[in-house]
A and B are shown apart, each in its own frame.
Chain A
Amino acid sequence: MNLTLKIWRQKNKDDKGKLVDYKINEVSPDMSFLEMLDVLNEQLINKGEDPVAFDHDCREGICGMCSLFINGQAHGPDRGITTCQLHMRMFKDEDTIFIEPFRATAFPVIKDLVVDRTSFDRIQHAGGFISVNTSGNTIDANAIPVNKHDADEAFEAATCIGCGACVASCKNSSAMLFVGAKVSQFALLPQGKVEATDRVLNMVKQMDEEGFGNCTNTGACEIECPKGISLENIARMNREYLSASLKG
């Protein structure tokens, strides 16, 4: 496959940045998208040019590190995958592919396609935890009976890898699917009940302070989420928040 890549190049967070065209030839359809970028970077290094900076780590769809907005979609044109799981067979010979960073005021570009997603970490710090006695006589979590339906829903919420595709896909750059998943995974379990009120109030407050937009329920986040996190988690967070606000 011979491709034209339009890649966002930005030297640092203060640079204005621009799309730069690159030609890449003889791309195997069996390559992953990141491997294709590796090949491009080898070519750029051999020519003495600055390679394209992009995030990646496990390359197994687990860590949530790879991002990229490819041809107008977070993680590219496929469902339920991260960019490292996207294969070049999804594209056609002579295609032009737009490769941009995840765009959100709360995700500032650090360099090229790398964005700062530490706003998610700060939201987690605000309440995405439970307090457990670690003095040595901790009760095994499996010894506490949990309703099967609740356990399944908590598990599904906990599969969120915090990649930020929800924010990138949302026309409002809202982080509510991420926060909804993090609130839900604890709200549904007995261990999370103790701090439920403070958790949702603090996490939503931090989310708002980070500059994420307001959810308008377009559902784009759910469609583009590599882990299929459901909009029901946002609805649960809304219920938890309203209930906590009345208590508070």
Chain B
Amino acid sequence: MSGILNSSIGRKFAMALSAFFLMIFLLQHFAINVTSVFSANTFNETSHFMGTNALVQYVFQPILLFSVVFHFVMGFVLEIKNRKARQIPYAKNNGAANSSWMSRNMIWTGLAILAFMGLHFYDFWFPEINTKYIQGDMSGLLADGSGYRYFEELQHKFLSPVRVGIYVVAFVFLALHLLHGFNSAFQSVGANNKYTKGLKGFGKAYAILIPLGFVIIALYHHFNHIS
């Protein structure tokens, strides 16, 4: 058991586990974001709960951060190791004949997502941590105390067409990453047999619908605010 993470299969397994956690998180993030389209109040209440609940803040948030860092670091480690496994490249390599573009470019779609996460953290996570844990304001209220601040902050961020454009492009990359990554994670933990035939279709649906949902929410707030 001790050497499992030093083995190729152990590393695959660890990548898959972190991916599962991130995919579940993405679903939960989407479920909260989608409430912002239907009810500012529900979005505010849910955001405040997530932002102040001890289990979410002190257990799930550190696990999430670890998963994000681990997934990216291990992704780079595997990429470096894999490049060493073929030091002389082919003069002509027709990868498109036997594999999808998504499966061959996980490192690039992953890097695009990493860049977006930098912006996302700058927009939301860092200010949130600053407000709550540095300034010590756990109230979740606007400066004038007229109500919760979360919905207004969300709307404000989606005013800029450039930011919304970056947001849309980033979620296209996320969809491309998930189109391979979802089923790849199941394959890595050994879930590819006669009992898992439906997973491939479900994985494609997840990979397209969840990022599309995030894009629709961003566009909704952008155009709704303008009008």
Binding site for B on A (CB under 8 A): 6, 8, 19, 69, 71-73, 77, 98, 100, 103-106, 169, 171-174, 176, 204-205, 207-208, 211-220, 223-224, 231-232, 234-239, 241-242, 245-246, 248
Inter-chain CA distance A73–B169, complex, in Å, is 32
Which of A205, A213, A224, A232 is most buried by chain B, counting CB atoms within 10 A of its CB?
A213
Q: Are the C-beta atoms of B85 and A73 separated by less than 8 Å?
A: no
Nearest A residue to B75 by beta-carbon distance?
A: A216
Total A-B Cβ pairs within 8 A: 140
Q: Are the C-beta atoms of A204 and B192 separated by less than 8 Å?
A: no
30 residue pairs from A and B, CB less than 8 Å apart: A71-B94, A73-B97, A100-B91, A104-B86, A105-B85, A105-B87, A106-B85, A169-B98, A174-B85, A212-B85, A213-B86, A216-B103, A216-B106, A217-B180, A217-B183, A217-B187, A217-B188, A218-B99, A218-B103, A220-B99, A231-B187, A234-B192, A235-B187, A236-B190, A239-B189, A242-B13, A242-B189, A245-B1, A245-B3, A246-B1
Closest 6 CB pairs of A and B: A72-B94, A213-B85, A239-B190, A235-B192, A172-B82, A223-B98
Which of B9, B84, B88, B191 is most buried by chain A, counting CB atoms within 10 A of its CB?
B9
- Chain B residues 90-124 with CB under 8 Å of chain A are 90-95, 97-100, 103-104, 106
Query: What B residues does A231 contact at CB under 8 A?
Result: 187, 192
- Chain B residues 62-84 with CB under 8 Å of chain A are 78, 81-82, 84
Q: Are the C-beta atoms of B106 and A98 separated by less than 8 Å?
A: no
Inter-chain CA distance A92–B104, complex, in Å, is 29
Binding site for A on B (CB under 8 A): 1, 3-4, 7-13, 78, 81-82, 84-95, 97-100, 103-104, 106, 180, 183-184, 187-193
Query: What A residues does B100 contact at CB under 8 A?
Result: 218-219
Q: Are the C-beta atoms of A217 and B82 separated by less than 8 Å?
A: no
Q: Which of B7, B97, B103 contacts A217 (CB 8 A)?
A: B103
Inter-chain CA distance A45–B184, complex, in Å, is 49
Evaluate whether A242 and B183 lie within 8 angstroms (CB atoms) in the complex, with A100-B92, A174-B85, A218-B104 already known.
no
Q: Are the C-beta atoms of B7 and A171 separated by less than 8 Å?
A: no
Inter-chain CA distance A236–B189, complex, in Å, is 9
Q: Are the C-beta atoms of B9 and A241 separated by less than 8 Å?
A: yes
Query: What B residues does A223 contact at CB under 8 A?
Result: 97-99
Give the shortest distance, in Å, between A20 (CB) and chain B (any CB): 12
Inter-chain CA distance A154–B90, complex, in Å, is 34
Query: What A residues does B93 contact at CB under 8 A?
Result: 69, 72
Q: Which of A72, A77, A171, A238 contacts B188 (CB 8 A)?
A: A238
Q: Are the C-beta atoms of B99 and A171 separated by less than 8 Å?
A: yes
Q: Are the C-beta atoms of B86 and A215 separated by less than 8 Å?
A: no
Q: Are the C-beta atoms of B86 and A234 separated by less than 8 Å?
A: no
Q: Are the C-beta atoms of A208 and B99 separated by less than 8 Å?
A: no
Query: What B residues does A172 contact at CB under 8 A?
Result: 82, 85-86
Query: What A residues does B11 contact at CB under 8 A?
Result: 214
Inter-chain CA distance A218–B101, complex, in Å, is 9
Which of A106, A208, A237, A246 is most buried by chain B, counting CB atoms within 10 A of its CB?
A208
Query: What A residues does B104 contact at CB under 8 A?
Result: 171, 218
Q: Are the C-beta atoms of B7 and A103 separated by less than 8 Å?
A: no
Nearest A residue to B84 by beta-carbon distance?
A: A105
Q: Are the C-beta atoms of A214 and B98 separated by less than 8 Å?
A: no
Evaluate whether A235 and B191 lie within 8 angstroms (CB atoms) in the complex, with A72-B90, A216-B103, A217-B180 already known.
yes
Q: Are the C-beta atoms of A204 and B190 separated by less than 8 Å?
A: no
Give the shortest distance, in Å, between A108 (CB) and chain B (any CB): 10
Give the shortest distance, in Å, between B199 (CB) and chain A (any CB): 11
Inter-chain CA distance A112–B194, complex, in Å, is 43
Query: What B residues does A205 contact at CB under 8 A?
Result: 7
Evaluate whether A103 and B8 lie within 8 angstroms (CB atoms) in the complex, with A216-B78, A235-B191 already known.
no
Nearest B residue to A242 by beta-carbon distance?
A: B13
Q: Are the C-beta atoms of B190 and A238 separated by less than 8 Å?
A: yes
Inter-chain CA distance A245–B7, complex, in Å, is 10
Give the shortest distance, in Å, between B58 (CB) and chain A (any CB): 30
Q: Are the C-beta atoms of B98 and A224 separated by less than 8 Å?
A: yes
Inter-chain CA distance A204–B88, complex, in Å, is 24
Q: Are the C-beta atoms of B82 and A173 separated by less than 8 Å?
A: yes
Query: What A residues does B184 contact at CB under 8 A?
Result: 216-217
Inter-chain CA distance A171–B95, complex, in Å, is 8
Inter-chain CA distance A174–B7, complex, in Å, is 13
Query: What A residues does B97 contact at CB under 8 A?
Result: 72-73, 77, 223
